[in-house]
Amino acid sequence: MEFEIIAKCHTTHARVSRMTMTHGTTYLPTFMPVATQGAMKGLTSQQVEALGVTLILNNTYHLNLRPGTKVLDAAGGAHKFQGWRKNLLTDSGGFQMVSLSSFTKITEEGVLFASPYTGEPTMLTPEESIGIQHSIGADIIMQLDDVVHSLTTGPRVEEAMWRSIRWLDRCIAKHKSSGRTDRQNLFAIVQGGLSPDLRQKCLDEMVKRKDDLPGYAIGGLSGGEEKDIFWKIVKQCAEQLPEDRPRYCMGIGFAEDLLVCVALGVDMADCVFPTRTARFGVALTRDGPMNLRLDRHRTSFFPIDANCPCLTCSSGMSRAALHNLVTHETVAAHAITQHNLVFQASVMGGARDAIIEGRFPQYLKDFFQRYFADAAYPRWCVDALRSVNVDILEGIENPRIVEGKGAKWEYSNKIPKQKKP
Amino acid sequence: MSGATARPPPVLSFKLLSVPATPFSPRLGLARLIRSSTEVIDVVTPGLFLHTSRGHVPHLSVDHISLMAKQMPWLHASFEGFLETLPPTPTLQPGPQPLHTFFGLPAASHIISLSLRDPADVQERPPDGDDYLSSMTIRGVRKIEPSFYRSYVSCVQPDIIIALSDIPFTLPPFSQKRMTKSIDRTIRWLGEILKSRPSMEITDNIRGNNIFVSLVGGTNAAARRAFSQNLLGPLEEGSNLSSVRPQTIPRLDDHISGYVLEMAQLRLELSASLSCGNDSSSTKEPTQAINQLLKASLSPLPADKLRVVHSSISPHEMLRLISLCGIDLFDSYWAQKAADWGIALDFSFPVSTSRDDTGPTRRSDGKRDVGHNLYHTGYAFDFRGLVGGPMHGCSCLACAPSFTKPIPHSSLEFVNDGCEEDAPAFTRAYIHHLLHTHEMSAHALLVSHNITVLQDFFAAIRSTLSADAPQFDTEVARFETEYDGDMRIIEEGRRAWEEVDCARGKGRLARERGTI
Ligand SMILES: [Zn+2]
Ligand SMILES: [Zn+2]
């Protein structure tokens, strides 16, 4: 991997960088859409590339179940299998095992889980996780970590943190012995729950292994923890991680979360949210999420966003037309998915330009002012951005502020949970 | 209602390009829609149009429809899906070409025909009345009067309007009396659509439009003939004679530009009457019975008008209808539906003589399938493209994908050359995987492929017809000998689809919940 910082924000910790791997260049900060099982929910790889996406995520747990490593090996890896020629990232599979398997037991050896097909106990070790990820062949692969829910407290959190470090060493050893370090880049995952102390210990250990690690992820967050704690942990991690390594915050997808994380020094994020919410008929816009199922869109004969370059908006497909299709035809999901991925990419692309041109603080202010115009500023966003010297309330008369999560979801009947891949 | 503007309705013409030996011989033709001097859309026949649901080809995004526009410019839509809320949403669409705009289809490149009901939908529904048609919506049954339909279509301005017809959707078989009623109503409703309405604004006069009529009469050849003869009769003025301008319309048929034959309903009635054995006209082979019935409908009518078939079920049937009834246009419904069931079509016309083992399975009775059931585990390691044999030329999204210039999202990407180039074909193994993991992309790729295969099939039919018309029947016979006309593969695919769908047990659902 070649990683080069192009520009830094003079106020916040945000930066713009160029990350070049076997399958091309991805400019950071970026959002990575999730193609769990090797397809982006109804779209073809060509369509995804046309949206301006250069880095997507596949889930190791799922691809290992289907099609399995034998098929992937025979196909020559997941890129060829799904016809994707840009960069690809895979997770370790650990998170899904813990969250999706009915039975999971973690031992020093690895994760013991119930096979979803046979129900039999199956062991996934750090070495096996890396082995599977070698078959998939993603440009970025993740270490197997000992996942605990972000709300877990007590000694289990510390145990998981230390075990994740030991497993990192096993992953590094396995990866180095494979001879694939030139094609696949192993990222470590910083753990330590919501404790700054444990996070610090984990950071110290993992940074020591920097020579074997082309990048770092911040894990164990976005599991329903207080946003106030979330941003402080992200900030702590981003500040401590090496300047010359990309930083990936796992499971982040709301526009406000993305921009706060970018301001705190995060380069990459992923989430199923934009594609999943599309299937529920929710389009993302700079004015907040828009639930196209609601009756008030029935006679809106204009696009989701007239200025949006996506194929849905530029074809003139109206909100009314989408309202009529949502929940009846998959075409609506495809159309909104395309729009949402372009929206995510444009929020991040806009951030890149703003950072390069030295106007990122203003970009943040403008974005938040518009996004929350008919709602209230989430307190945690205000605080997080103040911690990096941007006051998004500056010049706003009598700003409305809301405590707690403050995510804009009054539009939607269904509140999607954010999840780590 | 809004919608109607000064723009005159487009003109549809149909010209036979060959002189058929009999009124039912296979024929070549050209359907041309002239919107303006610069906007002309041609459809060569025998040809195809797309079946849509709520104005969209299921699984195919609008950008993909526009990629196919040159080959498949004609889409058929039904209005029923818009009747759940009144007034129907498309009637509120502002601007010119409301229906095109609403569907996101540029009028310069697409023809839209519109009927009230979906011709493929034969679910049982309450009977129609003398002055209304029962329409099914997700919010229950709606009674649609001919005048409503008239105002809807004059509002949304489709290029071609299919007149209302009273087809019984209660359980067949039907009595003679019911059949007579059906014919009378359809004729009367047609008259109401064609009549000029001095009481209405001029824009409600849709007589200048292109109107198709569905040829009714069920499985009774005499009834079908009677209906067609009625079309040649004068337009009967209704009971409100005094309010009608004293302008006479010589014949109903003079205002009709095409005849529609709805196979789904006919097939349903035919199987019902076959099982009852009470209809002498349909005791023969069903395929033969169908030909007879269609001929009964067409024989009284002028032979030079467009003949359109909805919901054909196989390439065999399409060939027969072209060869024996002189049908001009078909919807691609069965091929689109096959994509739902995981079938990738793979057949050639004329039947290829080259020996190869990449094509679909040959069954124990010697018949080859017309496609691959990609649910089958045998495809898990099959890294070939969808079509086997010598015809690697399929130009669909799966067989010939190509990259287009990506949307740039920051100034950095302008220097990054996004290159447009061809991509490798998607493999059977990949689509097999997508089907078993419930990924919608499988159906997007398959529907594009199946429509393209059907398109190529029709191009081959046309070139065979134009090169050597007598040879055509020989090729049809060879095709019937080679390929399984019972289409067993479709039913197998449908079952596999069901099984995989049911296998979405608890574990799988939990998994999906976590990831989708
Ligand atoms: Zn858009
Ligand atoms: Zn193809």
Q: What is the pLDDT of residue A409?
A: 61
Report pLDDT digits (tens) over B215-248: 999 999 999 999 999 999 876 554 344 444 445 5
Nearest CA distance, A220 vs chain B (angstrom) = 16
Instruction: Determine the length of chain B.
Output: 516
Rounded to the nearest integer, the mean pLDDT of chain B is 87
pTM as predicted: 0.94
B6 pLDDT band, cuts 50/70/90, is low
Per DSSP, the three-state class of B162 is strand
Q: Which amino acid is at B14?
A: F
Domain B11-331: CATH architecture, name and number where available: Alpha-Beta Barrel (3.20)
Residue B434: its chain A contacts at CB < 8 A? 37-39
Q: Locate A399 and state its tokens.
A: 């700003």
Q: What is the pLDDT of residue A97?
A: 83
Cβ of A82 and B430 within 8 Å?
A: yes
Cβ of A71 and B410 within 8 Å?
A: no
Lowest mean pLDDT among A333-337, B143-147, B502-506: B502-506
Interval between CA A305 and ligand 1 midpoint (Å): 6
Q: Locate A180 and state its tokens.
A: 């694939």
pLDDT tops 60 at residue B506: no
Q: Locate B453 and state its tokens.
A: 């295969």
Cβ of A331 and B407 within 8 Å?
A: no
ipTM metric: 0.96
Cβ of A44 and B397 within 8 Å?
A: yes
Interval between CA B409 and ligand 1 midpoint (Å): 13
Rounded to the nearest integer, the mean pLDDT of chain A is 94
| Among candidate residues B186, B218, B58, the one with its CA nearest the CA of residue B122 | B218
Counting beta carbons within 10 angstroms of the beta carbon of residue B69, is it exposed (0 to 12), middle (13 to 18) or buried (19 or more)? Answer: middle
CB B46 within 8 A of CB B82: no
Q: Which amino acid is at A164?
A: S
Q: Which amino acid is at B163?
A: A
Lowest mean pLDDT among B72-76, B180-184, B274-278, B300-304: B274-278
Q: What is the pLDDT of residue B432?
A: 98
| Among candidate residues A150, A36, A371, A398, the one with its CA nearest the CA of residue B515 | A36
Q: What is the pLDDT of residue A380?
A: 97
| Among candidate residues B78, B72, B69, the one with its CA nearest the CA of residue B122 | B78
Q: Which amino acid is at B494?
A: R
Q: What is the pLDDT of residue B283?
A: 45
Which residues of A are annotated binding-site positions? 91-95, 145, 191, 220, 308, 310, 313, 339
Q: What is the pLDDT of residue B199?
A: 44
Taking phi over 0 as left and psi of -120 to 50 as alpha, with beta for the rest, B487 belongs to left
What count of Cα atoms within 13 Å lies in the side-chain half-sphere of residue B418? 21
Buried b (16+ CB within 10 A) or exposed e, A1-10: bebeeebbbe
CB B69 within 8 A of CB B63: no
**Per-residue pLDDT averaged across B32-55, rounded?**
96
Q: What is the pLDDT of residue A100?
A: 81
Nearest CA distance, A414 vs chain B (angstrom) = 14
Residue A303 CA to residue A320 CA, distance in Å, equals 9
**Taking a contact as any Cβ pair under 8 Å apart, which residues of chain B between 35 and 94 contact chain A?**
53-63, 66, 81-82, 85, 89, 92-94
pLDDT tops 70 at residue B477: yes
Report the share of chain B in percent with pLDDT over 90. 67
> At A238, phi and psi to the nearest 5?
-60, -35
| Among candidate residues B47, B112, B26, the one with its CA nearest the CA of residue B454 | B47
Report pLDDT digits (tens) over B315-365: 999 999 999 999 999 999 999 999 999 999 999 999 988 766 778 989 999
CB A63 within 8 A of CB A38: yes
Q: Where are the beta strands (DSSP E) in A158-315?
A: 185-190, 215-218, 247-249, 268-271, 282-283, 290-291
Cβ of A334 and B440 within 8 Å?
A: yes
Q: Where are the domains of chain B?
A: 11-331, 343-403+421-513
Search chain A and give the residue with CA nearest B402: A46
**Taking a contact as any Cβ pair under 8 Å apart, which residues of chain A between 241 and 280 contact chain B?**
272, 276, 279
Report pLDDT digits (tens) over B88-119: 999 999 999 999 999 999 999 999 999 999 99
Interval between CA A51 and ligand 1 midpoint (Å): 10
| A249 Cβ contact list (under 8 Å, min separation 6) | A217, A218, A221, A234, A261, A266, A268, A269
Q: What is the pLDDT of residue B514?
A: 36
Cα B381 off chain centre by: 35
Distance from first CA to last CA of chain B, Å, rounded?
42
Buried b (16+ CB within 10 A) or exposed e, B314-344: bbbbbbbbbbbbbbbbbbbbbbbbbbbbbbb
Kindly state the helix (H) or strand (E) to which residue B78 belongs, with its residue range. Answer: strand B74-78
Q: What is the pLDDT of residue B12?
A: 96
| Among candidate residues B326, B332, B305, B277, the one with its CA nearest the CA of residue B452 | B332
B277 pLDDT band, cuts 50/70/90, is low
B206 pLDDT band, cuts 50/70/90, is low
∠ CA(B16), CA(B19), CA(B24), 5° rounding?
A: 85
Kindly state the helix (H) or strand (E) to which residue B479 belongs, with its residue range. Answer: helix B469-482
Counting beta carbons within 10 angstroms of the beta carbon of residue B138, is it exposed (0 to 12), middle (13 to 18) or buried (19 or more)? Answer: exposed
Q: What is the pLDDT of residue A188?
A: 98
| Among candidate residues A230, A392, A310, A266, the one with its CA nearest the CA of residue A9 | A266
Mean pLDDT, 10 residues at a time, chain A of 421 residues: 98 98 97 97 96 97 95 98 98 86 89 85 94 98 93 93 98 97 98 96 98 97 93 98 98 97 98 95 96 95 96 94 94 97 98 98 97 92 98 94 77 42 37
| Among candidate residues B199, B75, B112, B111, the one with its CA nearest the CA of residue B147 | B199
Catalytic positions of A, written as ranges? 91, 270
How many contacts does A have with B, using Cβ atoms within 8 A?
Answer: 221
Q: Locate B48 and state its tokens.
A: 């195809």
Cβ of A356 and B412 within 8 Å?
A: yes
CB atoms within 5 A of ion ligand 1 belong to A 308, 310, 312-313, 339
What domains can be seen in chain A, in order of their start residue? 2-272 (3.20.20.105), 278-412 (3.20.20.105)
